[in-house]
Amino acid sequence: MENVKIEPDQIISIDRQLANSPKDHIPGWGIDADPENDPTYPMKNWNGADYERFNYQKPPQQPVRFEVFHSIERPGITRVFGTSTPPRGLSGRIRSYAYKYSEATSAHWMTLLLADRVDSVEGIISDLKSGTIPNIFKERGWTAEWKYNRAGLVDKVVTGLVVTTVLISLLSSRRK
């Protein structure tokens, strides 16, 4: 079958949805339209660099001052890396275990999520040790909650109180 070529402008006029063509009042309408863009814009400008896997120009190596994990899907660390929050404590040990598995495994990611939860408990402990009592209300943005969702916040607090009271009375009645 022969392909009938329809000019883009024609499409607009034949489509009943487009009675109000956006063309006229939208700044820059169609300015980046590219008829060659089929199926889509090339996401990469292919230039053969894919085959320079060993000999591409590498930046100098950033010195390693503490333990930096690397994915086992690559031979070592990258030339540059972040220096935020080195692994520490129990969560650090859990993380180091997670990095024994590839990015294709749940063992890797689920273990890291577990480490994150442990880390936040360790964070509270180390806060307390250093004499800071974390202001959970402030940290959770409850000043904003008070301002914009007072009813919701009151609900939350009341529910919390009710649940605690019920729990306490259940526990103490059991003891009797």
Partner 1 sequence: MLAMNYRGPLRIRVDRDRPVPEIEHPYDAIVRVTRSLICGSDLHLYHGLVPDTRVGMTFGHEFTGVVEEVGSGVQNLKVGDHVLVPFNIACGTCPFCKQELYGNCHESNPEATAVGGFFGYAHIGGGYDGGQAEYVRVPYADVSPTVIPAGMDIEDAVLLTDVVPTGYQAAEMGGIRKGDTVVVFGAGPVGIMAARCAWLFGAGRVIVIDHIDYRLEFVKKYSYCEAYNFREMDDPVMFLKRQTDWFGADVCIDAVGCDASGSAMQTITGKKLLLQAGAATALHWAINSVKKGGIVSVVGVYGPPFNLIPMGSLMNKGITLRANQASVKRLLPKLIDHVMAGRLDPKGIITHRVPLEEISDAYHIFSMKQDNCIKPLLIPPRASWA
To partner 1, the closest distance from the beta carbon of 158 in angstroms equals 19
How far, in Å, are 57, 88, 134 from residue 123 at the CA level? 41, 11, 9
Which CB sits closer to partner 1, 104 or 171?
104
Amino acid at 1: M
Per-residue binding string, partner 1, 3-22, x by CB under 8 A, is -----xx-xx--x-xx--xx
Per-residue binding string, partner 1, 145-164, x by CB under 8 A, is x-xxx---------------
**140 in contact with partner 1 (CB under 8 A):** yes
Binds partner 1 by CB under 8 A, chosen from 93, 100, 123, 157: 123
How far, in Å, are 33, 123, 124, 127, 128 from residue 132 at the CA level? 57, 11, 9, 5, 5
**25 in contact with partner 1 (CB under 8 A):** yes
To partner 1, the closest distance from the beta carbon of 81 in angstroms equals 5
E-state strands within the chain: none
Binds partner 1 by CB under 8 A, chosen from 59, 131, 171, 172: 59
Distance CA 3, CA 24 (A): 30
Terminal Cα-to-Cα distance of the chain (whole angstroms): 88
- Locate all alpha helices (DSSP H) within 99-149, ordered by sequence: 106-129, 136-139, 142-148
**97 in contact with partner 1 (CB under 8 A):** no
Binders of partner 1: how many residues, by CB under 8 A?
Answer: 95
To partner 1, the closest distance from the beta carbon of 132 in angstroms equals 10
**139 in contact with partner 1 (CB under 8 A):** yes
Structure tokens, 117: 């939860």
